[in-house]
Amino acid sequence: GAVVSQHPSWVICKSGTSVKIECRSLDFQATTMFWYRQFPKQSLMLMATSNEGSKATYEQGVEKDKFLINHASLTLSTLTVTSAHPEDSSFYICSASNRETYEQYFGPGTRLTVT
Amino acid sequence: TQLLEQSPQFLSIQEGENLTVYCNSSSVFSSLQWYRQEPGEGPVLLVTVVTGGEVKKLKRLTFQFGDARKDSSLHITAAQPGDTGLYLCAGKSSPANEKLTFGTGTRLTIIP
């Protein structure tokens, strides 16, 4: 089956530092990956669409200079939270769209805590 | 902006009971998906419905897509503790648009 991994699964960082989260499609190629943010007891909120080889498309209200997205290959997208603050603490989930079937598969999520 | 409202927001019922979760919008979707998410994990796809009026069954779960493709429902028969989780509907505005709009979510707790 289609598997999407995220690394790390959880991370604690100090305020002002940057954190990189990786999203990998393990057994399929994904021209498009998506990054979501989920606050406790809430639904998923789309942050940005990551396209292989081109710039990411950010949703309204998401700061592109704060949440840097790189999609350098058909199996890897990264989200870097720059100059993290406690309000950036959240559960970040990626999904990858199979370039052949267009089905979207979700990663297990990364819990970020900024102290 | 397309919005998907789910109801109820929270539901806690006894094992063996039946329940229905609703997903409603004023917008038309080309397809709609249902996911279940457990704490600390990513959503897991349960089903995709594409045709207006379509009904799909997955064991004790029955999914229906509204005739106008603006709403959907999830019915669970004889709920079990393993059904506990956050249920999310998500829609695509068009087949060519891979972006998903997620519903507000329904947190279901089945009491043994």
**Binding-site residues on chain B for chain A (CB distance < 8 A):** 35, 40-45, 48, 88, 98-105, 107
- What is the pLDDT tens value at each position of chain B, 112 positions in all? 668 999 999 999 999 999 999 999 999 999 999 999 999 999 999 999 999 999 999 999 999 999 999 999 999 999 999 999 999 999 998 887 788 999 999 999 999 9
For residue B1, the model assigns a pLDDT of 61
List A34's β-bridge partners, or say none: A49, A95
List pLDDT tens digits, range A22-35. Answer: 999 999 988 899 99
Neighbours of A15 (CB within 10 A): 12
> What is the 3-state secondary structure of chain B?
CCCCEEECCEEEEECCCCEEEEEECCCCCCEEEEEEECCCCCCEEEEEECCCCCEEEECCEEEEECCCCCEEEEEECCCCHHHCEEEEEEEECCCCCCCCEECCCEEEEEEC
- Regarding beta strands B55-58 and A67-73, do their DSSP bridges make them parallel or antiparallel, or are they unpaired? unpaired
Q: Does the pLDDT at position A101 exceed 90?
A: no
Q: Which of B100, B101, B109 to mutate to test the interface with A (most CBs of A within 10 A)?
A: B100
Q: How many CB atoms lie within 10 A of CB A30?
A: 28
CB A93 within 8 A of CB B41: no
Residue with tokens 């779960």, as numbered in its chain:
B61
pLDDT at A1: 65
pLDDT of residue B94: 84
Contact partners, residue A60, CB within 8 Å, separation at least 6: none
In a 3-state reduction of DSSP, which class is residue A9? coil
Phi–psi pair at A86, nearest 5 degrees = -55, -35
In 3D space, the residue among B66, B72, B69 whose CA is nearest the CA of residue B93 turns out to be B69
Contact B43 A34 (CB under 8 A): no
Residue B26 corresponds to which amino acid?
A: S
Residue A51 confidence class, pLDDT cut points 50, 70, 90 = confident
Confidence of residue A93 (pLDDT cuts 50, 70, 90): very high
pLDDT surpasses 80 at A79:
yes
Q: Burial level of A70, CB count in 10 A (0-12/13-18/19+)?
A: middle
Q: List the single residue in B with minimal CA-CA distance to A51.
A: B98
Contact call for B40 and A46, based on CB within 8 A: no
